[in-house]
Every structure is written in structure tokens, then in C-alpha cells.
Amino acid sequence: MTQIKWENVPEKDIRAEAEVALETSGELRKIRSSISQNPAIESWRRELRETTKKIISEMQIDHLDTDILYDCIAARSLDTLPKEINDEIVKRIQTFLGSQFEDHA
């Protein structure tokens, strides 16, 4: 079997391969389930709901665009995700992908 030289693979392809592995193995579902049990995540969600309501109230109804709203919320959600949650997600993904693709490192 030929080893993949990851330095020659475009980042988007690596990302797509990782997403497929996470999804098909059920690991993504496990990570989401685990994270949803963390009390810090409920506080974060509550804050995002309030931010969303504020953004919607500031936008005129005629100019309410779901793509713009999504962009505003997505950026805010990533910026405010508690560090402990982010670190846990990153660690679990790295561990999983390391075990899945160790022969390709």
C-alpha cells in the first residue's frame, strides 16, 4: 500500500477526508453528545440566543437575511466558545484522527 504524502494533499481535501472519517465512524456524534453535557455549553448557548435576538432586533425586517445573520452568529459563536470546550474538542479530534490516519503521518 502506498503511503499518502500529506504535504502534497490540498488542505481542503485533508479536511474533507477528516470530516468523512469523523462522521462515518460516529465519533462526531460522540463528541457533540459529550460536549452538550458540559454546563459551560448551556451558558454559551444562552449568550448566543441573546446575541441573535439583539442582531435580529437591530436589523430591519425588510433587510433580514439569513446568510448575513448566520455570518454574524457564526463569527460570534467561534469567538465566544469557552476555551475548555474548544480544547476538549480539538484534543478529541486530534486523538481520533491520529488513530485513524497514523499510517499516513
SS (H, E, C) the chain: CCCCCHHHCCHHHHHHHHHHHHHHHCHHHHHHHHHHCCHHHHHHHHHHHHHHHHHHHHCCHHHCCHHHHHHHHHHHHHHHCCHHHHHHHHHHHHHHHHHHCHHHC
Confidence at residue 2, expressed as pLDDT on a 0 to 100 scale: 46
Domain count, the chain: 1
Residue 23 lies in a domain: no
The pTM score is 0.70
Confidence at residue 1, expressed as pLDDT on a 0 to 100 scale: 41
Residue 98 lies in a domain: yes
Confidence at residue 98, expressed as pLDDT on a 0 to 100 scale: 86
Confidence at residue 104, expressed as pLDDT on a 0 to 100 scale: 54
Residue 28 lies in a domain: no
Domain containing residue 77: CATH number: 1.10.246
Low-confidence ranges of the chain (pLDDT < 70): 1-9, 61, 102-105
Residue 46 lies in a domain: yes
Structural domain that includes position 97:
33-104
